[in-house]
Amino acid sequence: MIPWLKPAPEDDWFPDTARAMTVPNGLLAAGGDLSPGRLLAAYHRGIFPWYEAGQPVLWWSPDPRTILWPGTMYLSRRMRRRLRSPAFEVSVDQGFAAVVDACAKRGTGSGAGTGTWITPEMATAYGRLHDLGHAHSIEVWQGDMLAGGVYGVALGQVFFAESMFSAVTDASKIALACLSGLLHRHGFGMIDCQLPSAHLSSLGCQEIPRADFLERIATLCPASPTPMQWQRAAAPVSSLCQGSNGA
């Protein structure tokens, strides 16, 4: 039986992650709320929410954890040519709500096949984190059309990726490559991708034990996270996509 969370003091937001279930992998608790304070406390403890409409809020901390080291995303020769194409531009924090909405309709994240887990309540909660300077998005544009994107939460030197989407072939890969390059240049130590998938593995993501993941969070994430301003107008994709590996 997993714990049921209620409004609580900050030092008692969540049970210890060691209590997370093995099957399903990482299920830790249910209930609580999606307030900014609770969400930031969750990420600082290696926990994230993932549930669908009609369910209570479910909190997860899987073992192992899927991560990507900034600047190490695998890019094939074909993909590198795609990144040099003048057909696309990339921006930062210019369309956060639009990226979240698109992810809810067609995105992938938290190991899910679709973005249906992004309920209106979730979208509102991450919108609040964005307004506070903790949640950010990368947008890929093809002309005036939002072609792809990725969003997540930044704490210290860790980016906790939540979901990404493509309306055009490869646009989500372009978004992730730009995120990887941006974080690499700004000294981030890790991108959390939550749960494994064949797609993420093909891009260079790795699995590490939860204990190692939590140790890295303790080192890279300050106890009191500082909001970050990331706004960047649309520019050529190559301006952000440096520092990724490929054949």
Task: Tell me the pLDDT of the chain averaged across its residues.
Answer: 90
Q: How confident is the model at residue 107 (pLDDT cuts 50, 70, 90)?
A: low
Domain boundaries, the chain: 4-60, 65-241
d(CA 180, CA 192): 11
Region 78-86: what's the mean pLDDT? 89
User: Of 28 and 106, which is predicted with more confidence?
Assistant: 28
Give whichever of 49-58, 126-135, 234-243 has the largest mean pLDDT.
126-135
Q: Which two tokens stand for residue 103?
A: 């992810």
Expressed in angstroms, the distance from the first to the final Cα of the chain is 48
Checking if the pLDDT of 220 tops 80, the result is yes
User: For position 111, what pLDDT does the model report?
Assistant: 44
SS (H, E, C) the chain: CCCEECCCCHHHCCCCHHHCCCCCCCEEEEECCCCHHHHHHHHHCCCEECCCCCCCCEEECCCCEEEECCCCCEECHHHHHHHCCCCCEEEECCCHHHHHHHHHHHCEECCECCCCCCCHHHHHHHHHHHHCCCEEEEEEEECCEEEEEEEEEEECCEEEEEEEEECCCCHHHHHHHHHHHHHHHCCCCEEEEECCCHHHHHCCCEEECHHHHHHHHHHHCCCCCCCCCCCEEEEEHHHCCCCCEEC
User: Which amino acid, 56?
Assistant: P
The pLDDT score that the predictor gives to residue 34 is 95
Mean pLDDT for 212-238 is: 89
CA–CA gap between residue 144 and residue 138 (Å, rounded): 15
What is the structure's pLDDT at 114? Answer: 47
Residue 62 has pLDDT above 70, yes or no: yes
Mean pLDDT calculated for residue range 24-48: 95
- Residues 190 and 220 sit within 8 Å (Cβ to Cβ): yes
Residue of 199, 179, 21, 3 lying closest to 109 (CA atoms): 199
Q: Determine which of 82-86, 150-154, 183-187, 237-241 has the lowest per-residue pLDDT on average.
A: 237-241
Domain 65-241 fold: Aminopeptidase (3.40.630)
What pLDDT is stored for residue 10 in this prediction? 59
For the stretch 137-182, pLDDT in tens is 999 999 999 999 999 999 999 999 999 999 999 999 999 999 999 9
On the question of pLDDT at 113 being above 50, the answer is: no
What's the token pair of residue 155?
């704490």
More reliable by pLDDT, 60 or 8: 60
Predicted pLDDT of residue 242: 54
The CATH number that domain 4-60 falls under is 3.30.70.3550
